[in-house]
A and B are shown apart, each in its own frame.
Chain A
Amino acid sequence: MSLYLKLKSGIFLLLLIMTLAACATVYQLPAKHPEELDLGGRLPICTDCHESRDDNITYELFSHIKTWSTNHRFAAQQQEQVCNMCHQQSYCNDCHGVQVELKPSDKNPDQPYRQMPHRGDFLSRHAIEGRMNPTSCFRCHGNPKTAQTCAPCHG
């Protein structure tokens, strides 16, 4: 199939999706969390105010418990718009940006309450943690651009 034909099919598909969606009546999550949360250094536990779940959100899944930094993948995969109610993309980009030179803990040394995996002597630790389970490294450093921080030693 030629690129022109692919583009035409793509545009047609997008228009069809938008038309069908425009006819549907669906409850939509608010773009922002309805209340301003001023938690200081505390992490938000959704179930402190909400039930475990309702018709639209599984609040339990989004509670920022102590291990949230390593466990938020499925929540973001399934309902990214819940993340967007409190965070802009720039917040996620501190760690997940396509090419971010500064480690999150170097960029934000005044936020020790946030879980950031590269604190301290990570140069030594990453060899141990990488041997134990390299899959967590791959999620953020797994493509040619994000792996440029690994390139000086790993080629």
Chain B
Amino acid sequence: MKVSKLLVVFSTVVFLFTISFTEARAANISIRSETMVRFFERDTTSKTDALIVPAYEYLQFDVGEPGVNPLTFHANGWGRLDLTDNDYFDDQADGELLYGYLQYLYAEKGIITRLGRMSVVAGVANESLDGVYLKASFSPAIDLSVFAGLPVSLSDTNGRSGDFSYGGRLGFRLAASQNIGVSYKMIRNDSTDAEEMVGLDFGLSFNKLLFTGASSYNFVTDGFAEHSYEALFGYAKTHFNLFYQLYAFEDYFGTGDNNANPFRILAQTSEKLSSYGLDISHNFTDFVEAGFKLARNDYDQGDASNYGALTVAWHGEDLTGIGGEFGVSRGGENDRNDMLLARIYGYKEITGGMLLDRLSCDLLYAKYGDPIYDEDTSIFFSIAGSRKIKIDNLRLKVSADYERGPFFDNDFRGMVSLIYLYSNQ
């Protein structure tokens, strides 16, 4: 990240924080800091098997509590320092402000306003934005959310001059749990239209049966991008989910400048994909649950494929449990999409442990139908432990991973993390 960009981001955060300072004096201030140091070996341009030791800081900062304080401030971001100072991270950003916004919540009237950098989720919009967001309810039957600002996703594409994004979602509640929404988004890059979508989403409930889904239309390519529909049904301790999705690649991936490889290539095809299947989840007891998934992907031109998976998990009262997953995929020319996956994991809270008070492990095995770099299997094992350090809000976490497969002969990775939580109340 360039210094000038950092300065702009920093001054915005300070500005927004200053506005909320009066409110903050009486409000809860909370900070979550996660400092991580990772260790692994990779080839760099100058060295084979070079030791890479990046240190990360993930910092979250909240002033005030939504619902308690009308005016609140929230920020979250990360930064990285390469302690070995080699060229491994040369082409990557050293950090990012994920969000930093001032929020005003008028709870009784359902008005939410946000100013700053934020994620916006509203119908067809799932964007990160430097701007303003407003959500308001006009009546029990109608609510509206609107947003406008600079799209963060395009900040590195031809600069920010001429960039602009706006849109919103109008939601209608026809009756109890009968929701329909119409949404729109426009993203402009360098004064040209990068993406323009309109969408319709719905959630319609009939007794215990729920239909939900969305369709979106791409104005730039002039075609329907997606139709995705689900039927959910819960009976006793069993949940069923039938789904159907239809994608037109030219319209779904054809989002102009707001796109990148490998999806740009897919946007140039006239391929259509329909994906459909069934998810079943069943809770045998309060502590044992199982899930089953069956999906089929049908292409207009390409090969069809099928995927099936079974999951089982047991949970104890505290943070203790074991689980497993088994999945198989089939289809494609030369067995290219054939794959078998098996996973076992466990985690345990250790009361009165001398070294650790939490321990977890994860084992994952994969077998590929078509060998990749002459290897047809991979294995991954991870073990992690953590403990509180004297005070409740400081935790030290240590983890080690091992991986062997097509891309790594014997890869060992390690990580040490320190998590600190602060609250003035």
Interface residues of A (CB under 8 A from B): 10, 13-14, 17-18, 20-22, 24, 26-28, 30-32, 40-42, 45, 47, 52-58, 60-61, 63, 65-67, 71, 74-81, 84, 88-90, 92-93, 96-102, 106-107, 109-113, 119-121, 123-125, 127-128, 130-135, 137-139, 141-148, 150-152, 154-155
Contact = CB atoms under 8 A, between A and B. Distances in A.
A38 to B, nearest CB: 9
A139 B126 contact: yes
Contact of B139 (A10, A24, A65, A133): A24
Contacts of B109: 21-22, 24, 26, 28
A143 B154 contact: yes
Interface residues of B, number: 149
A57 to B, nearest CB: 8
Contact of B146 (A17, A66, A76, A100): A17
B162 to A, nearest CB: 10
Given A53-B177, A65-B239, A109-B362, A133 B261 contact: no
Given A17-B136, A40-B317, A40-B349, 9 more contacts: A26-B143, A78-B181, A78-B212, A80-B121, A81-B112, A99-B93, A110-B347, A143-B154, A151-B91
Contact of B262 (A58, A67, A124, A154): A154
A155 B281 CA distance: 39
- A31, A41, A53, A75 pick with most chain B CB within 10 angstroms: A41
A97 B98 contact: yes
Contact of B252 (A13, A20, A135): A135
A80 B67 contact: no
A110 B34 CA distance: 14
B76 interface: yes
A133 B275 contact: yes
A78 B105 contact: no
Given A65-B239, A93-B76, A112 B362 contact: yes
Contacts of A13: 146
